[in-house]
Structure 1
Amino acid sequence: MRTRRIVAIVVVIAAVPLVILGLIDPLEGGLALLGAIVLVFVAWLLSRVPVPRLAWIAAAATVLVGAVTIAIAIAVFSPGSPPTTGTVAAPGGGLLVPLNWVWRVGVLVTLAGAVLYIVRLFQSLRRVPE
C-alpha cells in the first residue's frame, strides 16, 4: 500500500504542470486541465486518499466555465457571422474577457487544491504501516 501511495504522489506532482498550463485559456488550457483531472483520478484510484473538495469542486466549476466560454466564442465568431474587429464589438463577445479571468481564477484554486492533495498524500504516507 505504501508503494501505491508513493506512485500516487508522483502522479499528482506530474499533474501540477498541466494545471499550470491550464492558465493559458479555456481552449488550449482546457485540454491540459482535463489531463490533470485524469491524472488526479488515477492517483485517487491508486491511493484511495480522498481528493479535497477544494480540488474537485474548483476543477468541475472551472471546466464548466471553460465550456461556456468556448461555446460563446464559437457562437459569436462562427464563420457565418459578420466580420468584427475585436471581441467587444461582437454581440456577446464582451463576455469573453471576464470569463477568461474567471477561468484563470478557477485554475489557480484548482492548483491550490492539487497542492493540498499532495500534502494529504504525504500525511497518509506516514500513517500507513509498511
Structure 2
Amino acid sequence: MELVYAENDIQNVAKIILENSHSKFFAFYAPMGAGKTTLIKTLVKELGGVDEVSSPTFGLVNEYADREGNLIAYHFDFYRLEDEMEALDFGLEDYFNTDAYIFMEWPEKIPSLLPENLVTLKIEILDSTTRRISTI
C-alpha cells in the first residue's frame, strides 16, 4: 500500500489503513513533524474513539475508549526511551496482550520487543502539506 495525501484527505487514509490491516498492531516510522500523531488521532476516531488524542511523549502511553467506555486503543510514543528495558519496566507486554489496537510512534527504539504480526507504516514528508505513507 502506498498513498499520497494532504491533511484534508487523512480520514480517507485512516479508513484505507484500517480496512487493509491484517493486525491490531501498528508501528509508525517517520521524522518529527510528519504527522504521526495526527494520523493516529484520525485512526482512533475511525475506530469510534471519543477521547481527545494527543501525543503521549511524556507519559509514554495514552488509552482511548469509545462512547460506551470500552477500551479501543493504546497509543505509545517511545521517543524518550533510553533503552528497551524501560518499555518492559512499564509493562509493554501486558498492553500487547489486550484486545485493543496498539499504535506506536518511534518503534525503532524497541526493535526486539515489536510483535511479529505488525503493520509497519512509513510516513514521508513530500512538502509542507503533502505526505506519502507506505507499508514496509
Identify whether the pair has TM-score above 0.5, normalized to the shorter chain: no
Name the one with the larger strand percent. 2
Normalization by structure 1: what TM-score? 0.29
- Whichever of the two has the greater Rg, that structure is 1
